[in-house]
Structure 1
Amino acid sequence: MQPNKEILALLHLIDDPDEEVFDVISQRIIDYGKPIIPNLEDLWENTPDSMAQERIEILIHKLYYGDLANDMREWGTAGHQDLLLGALLVSKFLYPDIASSATLRETEKIKRNIWLELNNYLTPLEQINVFTSILYSYYGLKGCEMSYANPNEFLIHKTLEAKKGNQVGNGILYLILCEMLDLPIRLVQIPRQFILAYFRPGYTVDNINDPQKMIEYYIDPAAGQIYTHNDVEAYFKSISVPPSPSHFRPLSNKEVIKVLLGEFSKCFTKDENMYKHNELLQLSALLD
Structure 2
Amino acid sequence: MNKNKLAALLSLLDDPDQEIYRSIEKELAELPISTIPQLEDSWFNSKNEMYQERLESVINKIQFTNVKKDLIKWAASESPNLIDGAILINQSYNPNLLTDPIRKNVQKIKYDVSLELNEHHTALEKIKILNHFFYNIHNYHPLPPNQPTNWDGDIGTVLSQKNGNYIILAIIYAGIAQELNIPVYGINLPGSVLLCYKNEQHPESKRTPSDSILFYINPIDKGTVFGQKELAQIISTKNIENNSKYYLPTSNNSLIKRLVQHEISVYKKLKLNSYIPNFKELFKSL
- When normalised by structure 2's length, the TM-score is 0.82
Letter in 2 for 1:88: I
Q: Residue 218 of structure 1 aligns with which residue? A: 216
- Checking the alignment, whether the CA contact within 8 Å between 2:14 and 2:54 is kept in structure 1 is no
- The residue identity in structure 2 corresponding to 1:247 is Y
Coordinate RMSD, CA, aligned: 3.1
Tell me the secondary structure at the aligned position of residue 108 of structure 2.
helix
CA–CA distance in structure 2, aligned partners of residues 97 and 278 of structure 1? 21
**1:187 counterpart SS class:** strand
Verify: 1:255 aligned to 2:254, yes or no: yes
Partner of 2:72: 73
Q: CA offset at residue 81 of structure 1? A: 2.2
1-structure distance, mates of 2:32, 2:118: 51
CA distance in 2 between counterparts of 1:195 and 1:206 reads 25
The answer for the alignment partner of 1:281 in structure 2 is 283
> Gapped runs of 5+ residues in structure 2?
none
Shift of 1:116: 1.3
Q: Once the two structures are superposed, what CA deviation does each residue of 1:188-208 show, in whole Å capped at 9, x if it has no partner?
A: 112211110123342588985
> Cα distance 1:102–1:250, how it changes in 2: closer, same or farther (>3 A)?
same
Deviates more, 1:2-11 or 1:131-140: 2-11
Aligned to 1:127: 126
1:54-93 to structure 2, matched below 5 A, reads 55-93=54-92
**Change in CA separation of 1:44 and 1:9 when aligned onto 2, cut-off 3 Å:** closer
Q: Corresponding residue for 1:10?
A: 12
- Paired with 1:95 and 1:132, the residues of 2 have a C-alpha distance of 30
> Letter of the aligned partner of 1:200 in structure 2?
N
Higher mean C-alpha deviation, range 165-174 or range 247-256: 247-256
Correspondence for 1:231: 230
CA distance in 1, matches of 2:135, 2:129: 10
Match of 1:80, SS state, is coil
Seen in structure 2, the aligned counterparts of structure 1 residues 146 and 39 have a Cα distance that, compared at 3 Å, is: farther
**How many residues end up aligned between the 2 structures?**
279
Instruction: Look up the SS of the partner of 2:224 in the other structure.
Output: strand
**One-letter code aligned to 2:174:** L
Contact 1:268 1:276 in 2 (8 A): no
Q: SS state of the match for residue 76, structure 1?
A: helix
The residue number in structure 2 matching 1:187 is 186
Distance 1:112 1:274, change over 3 A: closer
Give the partner amino acid of 1:216: L
Amino acid at match of 1:134: F
Q: Is the 8 A contact 2:142 2:163 kept in 1?
A: yes
CA drift at 1:157: 2.4
Tell me the distance in 1 between the aligned counterparts of 2:142 and 2:205: 31
Q: Which amino acid aligns with 1:146?
A: P
Deviation at 1:139, TM superposition (A): 0.9
Match of 2:173 in 1: 174
Deviation at 1:156, TM superposition (A): 2.4
Q: CA deviation at 1:236?
A: 1.5
Percent of aligned pairs sharing the same letter:
23
- AA at the equivalent of 1:226: T
Conserved 8 A contact 2:155-2:168: yes
Relative to 1, partners in 2 of residues 1:168 and 1:268: Cα closer, same or farther, differing over 3 Å? same
Secondary structure at 1:154 match in 2: coil
Q: Deviations over 1:79-137 (max 9, x none)?
A: 33233322222222122233433322221221110111223444433322221111111
**2-side partners of 1:37 and 1:120: how far apart?**
48
Could you tell me the TM-score, scaled by structure 1's length? 0.81
Decide whether aligned partners of structure 1 residues 274 and 160 sit closer, same or farther in structure 2, where only a CA change above 3 A counts: closer
Q: Could you tell which deviates more after superposition, 20-29 or 173-182?
A: 20-29
Contact 1:153–1:159, Cα closer than 8 Å, also in 2: yes
* Structure 1 residue 277, shift from structure 2 partner: 2.8
Change beyond 3 A, Cα 1:248–1:151: farther
Structure 1 residues 261 and 204: CA distance shift in structure 2, 3 A? farther
